[in-house]
Structure 1
């Protein structure tokens, strides 16, 4: 395997990304090297492209960006036991230290030393990406590549929606972005009684309607109280 690859790199502290040849990530004994097949675009990537205030204070330059992806394992470290070359996988994009107080208490999501893939360490907008074994996620055979590439945002939607007991409840989702729409669909499939999603962007509202969300509200033109009355709600939203 060649030791160089093509990647989209934030190589200058200004708007844009640049296609460059960069070294293939080197793996350690507990790492997995993944050949990227598909990578999705997150809002974070747009912030990095625009080089806004958040990106300027967060992103070290140069940086291979991207963190929503799927691919096939190209190489595994000597201590890796759960995965093998050729396996279809995705990955969790937050690398935690495993040693700090929160990690040792089972609260890795609060790790003070978290490194974000495509933010603080090289990401998936390259031909290869490297992850620790514990961040690798296997993909079931019946899940197509393009769906597997959005496990990251879909997981956010599922985790958020299922943080509540949704059965028989009335649910309001404010904002019909990709995660909002996915969250509304999860709520619907989980037994919510009424699911309402609001936005002011015509494209996003149309997308929400197209995927089968029952009550899609243009908040710039419709009064939510009137919508609630029209669909038989009397006591407000539960979630």
Structure 2
């Protein structure tokens, strides 16, 4: 089969012929139809410090995908051939304390699809049945392909109550954009999204933000004044990973404000812990998706909301055949694009 392969340690990927994956009795074999390009894939392709310390080539990367089930193992019960599916990319052990308690997203032996095992940048991918998500009839293949990052956005957004609240989102990358759309769907009052890219801020406005704020020129306090806010933001969603984002977010929260952090910091963060204590703020880390409550939530929201489906179409700014993966990776590295989806159906 054809696959994007990290053949050896070092920069680059190659579209190569590789053996088809071998499935076990509890596994599902999926013909890949669409894949999303994630920041993790960019790290692997460029072979940065994280990749060189984490990845063991040869490896097929890719963990955002949709496809059609073409074969099932003898022990598979609830997934049928022909189903349109995506997959939870975190394969957990099932026996650690958190797994046994139903907190599978906190498994300390997680194996990552496209990171620790061969992933979805290929014609076929194999996953345990327990990781396969079956979509309802009529699900858009592009939308299905980005359930992984949409799940990050939904997991982060749903951490705290949002109805009637004022929400600050730092970072207008694809996940921040999806979070803005989800927050609007849930029923927040004011939504402010910050970034330094005007094209991405325009996307934020299109998916539901009341204000897209360029923090290279303006401060978050100005956004409060422009919207007539009096006491600060109720909820902050930190999606950028920029070291300056969390301190400014804290400065603009109301007393008792809450922050969910998904962005991985690119450097040390100087937090005013005295303000965290005296203002009784809550800061919590978010990783991945809740298995599988987040999947239920995003599936239901997409089925019930035309606006949310339109927002996802807006977030997906580029759709390319898999053969043009190099262009896709180049576009995904820019600070102007939204989500990039590769089409594998013609590979």
Give the TM-score taking structure 2 as reference length. 0.66
2:120 pairs, out of 115, 124, 138, with: 124
Q: CA offset at residue 155 of structure 1?
A: 1.0
Deviations 1:87-137 (A, max 9, x none): 111110000010122211222112121100000001000000000001000
List runs of 5+ in structure 2 lacking aligned partners. 236-347
**Greater mean deviation of Cα atoms: 126-135 or 204-213:** 204-213
* SS of residue paired to 1:27: coil
Q: CA offset at residue 47 of structure 1?
A: 0.6
Whole-Å separation in 1 of the counterparts to 2:153 and 2:202: 19
Whole-Å separation in 2 of the counterparts to 1:30 and 1:204: 42
In structure 2, the partner of 1:86 is 82
In structure 2, the partner of 1:138 is 134
1:232 aligns with 2:223: no
1:161 aligns with 2:174: no
**Greater mean deviation of Cα atoms: 227-236 or 107-116:** 107-116
The answer to whether the Cα contact below 8 Å between 2:180 and 2:207 also exists between their aligned partners in 1 is: no
Whole-Å separation in 2 of the counterparts to 1:105 and 1:23: 37
Once the two structures are superposed, the pairs formed by residues 35-114 of structure 1 within 5 Å of their partners are: 35-114=31-110
Whole-Å separation in 2 of the counterparts to 1:155 and 1:29: 28
1:16 aligns with 2:12: yes
Q: CA offset at residue 40 of structure 1?
A: 0.8
Whole-Å separation in 2 of the counterparts to 1:202 and 1:106: 42
Q: CA offset at residue 223 of structure 1?
A: 2.1
**Greater mean deviation of Cα atoms: 96-105 or 23-32:** 96-105
Whole-Å separation in 2 of the counterparts to 1:21 and 1:201: 38
* SS of residue paired to 1:154: helix
Deviations 1:11-38 (A, max 9, x none): 1211110111111111111100000001
**Greater mean deviation of Cα atoms: 182-191 or 105-114:** 105-114
Once the two structures are superposed, the pairs formed by residues 178-189 of structure 1 within 5 Å of their partners are: 178-189=174-185
In structure 2, the partner of 1:223 is 219
Deviations 1:137-179 (A, max 9, x none): 0112232111110010011111110111001110000000111
Q: CA offset at residue 206 of structure 1?
A: 2.3
- Give 4+ residue runs of structure 1 displaced > 3 Å after superposition: none
Whole-Å separation in 2 of the counterparts to 1:212 and 1:107: 32
Deviations 1:47-95 (A, max 9, x none): 1011000000111111000000000001000000101111111110000
The structure with the greater share of residues assigned to helix is 2
Whole-Å separation in 2 of the counterparts to 1:96 and 1:164: 26
In structure 2, the partner of 1:32 is 28
Once the two structures are superposed, the pairs formed by residues 195-234 of structure 1 within 5 Å of their partners are: 195-234=191-230
Q: CA offset at residue 45 of structure 1?
A: 0.3
Q: CA offset at residue 202 of structure 1?
A: 2.3
The answer to whether the Cα contact below 8 Å between 2:66 and 2:86 also exists between their aligned partners in 1 is: yes
List runs of 5+ in structure 1 lacking aligned partners. none
Structure 1 vs Structure 2 CA RMSD: 1.0
Task: Give aligned pairs, total.
Answer: 235
The answer to whether the Cα contact below 8 Å between 2:92 and 2:110 also exists between their aligned partners in 1 is: yes
* SS of residue paired to 2:142: helix
